[in-house]
Structure 1
Amino acid sequence: MNEESTVEALTRLGLTTYEARVFVALQRLGTGTASDIAEITAVPRSQVYGAADDLQDRGLLDVQQTRPTVYRPVSPEEAERRLLSQLESVGQEAFGYLEEIRGSADSDDERSEAIWTVQGRANVRDRVVDLIGDADDRIVYGTPRPELLEDEVLAALTEAAETGVDVTVVSDESSVLESVPADGPIRTVPQPADRQPEVSTARILLADGGTLLMSVVSAAVEDDDQETAFWSAGTAFATVLVTLSEELIELDR
């Protein structure tokens, strides 16, 4: 890493470019005046004072009130600790506020029509796991592809079943059903091929009568980016499709 990349890295940690250049210059000098700093860095002397004041406010340098003023930086280790601590604090405040306002401007009509898409196998899997974790009463998970009953999905289904959720895995492929431990809390149901949806469904998740995720693949599933899913929860759209899907699957209630 050279000086320019170090300056860039420091700006990513919250310093301005002038602050970063002044701090790097002081690390070279050990101590120095505004004139000393301006001589070895691309910061005009008139701008050094303001940058140094801001660095002092951040706790990154000490100031000797002499004529001329002399600046001394804290050690790189101390600067790292303080910058990361400040960054963490600012991040917590920002994301805390985002959590507070999340969804506050949505109208009921907007929420009622929420249909989302997810692209890529890993992203689809993660969304499936999240939706399983949100279920309270009933889950049906179906796929004809053994590779789409991933370890993460099976673990989430098992955890849900162990907390009292009614969990069923359906498939027309015995290898999928055999992936589910026979002595575990998950029920398995063989699904005849003629009861499968006629679209090229890769996986389907139904939960609590009002949550649906359905994915398709447009190429070999080994290409992780070729799985695309749509999902919806708590909407009239999802409720209707869940009902139709459960009727198609013909699960014993």
Structure 2
Amino acid sequence: MDSGTAKGLSEVTEVPRTRVYDAVRILEAKGLVEVQHSSPQQFRAVPLSEATETLRGQYEQRVERLQSALQEMGRIESDNDEAKLQEVWSLSGSDAIENRAEALIADATEEVVLVIGSNAVLTDPLIEQLNSLDSNTDLIVGTGSDSIQNRVKREIPRATAFLSELDWLHSELMPEEDAAVGRLLLVDRSAMLVSSIDPQTGDEQAIFATGLKNGLIVIARRLISQGVVDMDPLEQD
């Protein structure tokens, strides 16, 4: 493997020699550079396979620390039960919203109601998760268009599919500058997520809430029941 001195590296990279030393020390500390203590010192990169394993190990350690910290934070709960009933949170970005929706669906024990306003939210991971739901969990999927409904029937055969009668789900009836409804998810009638998609940028924003008596969830149950035909269980608060 090739090696070089600080002077040689400086000439090749057109980086001042002092900056080369700084960079080499950082890479050495990360286990990515070997140093030969000769005069002048020689530097060389570790083999690619070793560098890959080193970086993977460092990355996994950071993820584990982050996961542990987030779990610890999750244990901190408010003592105000009344406030919990009114909690509403927001999320930005399709990846974060899809992850939260996945987590809510994973906790379902009785019923998942998903109303899809945009074909963009009907991703392969979501389809796979819905198809793998426990057979004892009811799955109801509403759509704002015939094309999405046909896709749901074709790709999620276990779902009870319906074409929603909620006018605000039909994008062709909305002003072009208004955000389109992305998804409206209601799990076990006690956890809700609703998102909108910016028609100009495609950015997705969402709010979510939990609690059987949360006012937002009560409203969501009634809104969904208005868009569902012959789905009496949804009308029960």
User: Same-fold call, TM > 0.5?
Assistant: yes
TM-score under structure 2 normalisation?
Answer: 0.64
1:28 correspondence with 2:36? yes
The match for 1:105 is 76
TM-score under structure 1 normalisation?
Answer: 0.61
Quickly say closer, same or farther: Cα 1:171–1:102, change in 2 above 3 A. Answer: same
The match for 2:185 is 205
Identity rate of aligned residues, in percent?
17
Structure 1: state its 5+ residue gaps. 42-74
Alignment of 1:1-253 (within 5 A): 3=20, 4-11=22-29, 13=30, 27-29=35-37, 76=46, 87=58, 91=62, 94-95=65-66, 97-98=68-69, 101-109=72-80, 111-160=84-133, 162-182=134-154, 184-194=157-167, 200-220=180-200, 223-225=201-203, 227-234=204-211, 236-250=214-228, 251-253=231-233
Question: What is the DSSP-based 3-state SS (H/G/I as helix, E as strand, rest coil) of the residue aligned with 1:224?
Answer: coil
Quickly say closer, same or farther: Cα 1:194–1:111, change in 2 above 3 A. Answer: closer
Cα deviation for residue 240 of structure 1 reads 1.9
CA distance in 1, matches of 2:63, 2:166: 51
Question: What is the DSSP-based 3-state SS (H/G/I as helix, E as strand, rest coil) of the residue aligned with 1:164?
Answer: coil
- Return the structure number with greater relative CO, CA threshold 8 A, min gap 6: 2
Quickly say closer, same or farther: Cα 1:105–1:146, change in 2 above 3 A. Answer: closer
**Per-residue displacement from partner, 1:137-192 (whole Å, max 9, x unpaired)?**
111111232233222222222122x4431111112311111112458211101222
Superposed CA RMSD in Å reads 4.0
* Structure (1 or 2) with the larger CA radius of gyration: 1
Count of paired positions? 200
Cα deviation for residue 195 of structure 1 reads 7.8
Larger helix percent? 1
What amino acid does structure 1 have at the position aligned with 2:187? A
Kept in 1, the 8 Å contact 2:166–2:226? The answer is no
Structure 2: state its 5+ residue gaps. 1-8, 14-19
**Per-residue displacement from partner, 1:208-253 (whole Å, max 9, x unpaired)?**
1111111112324xx332x211112236245323332333224343
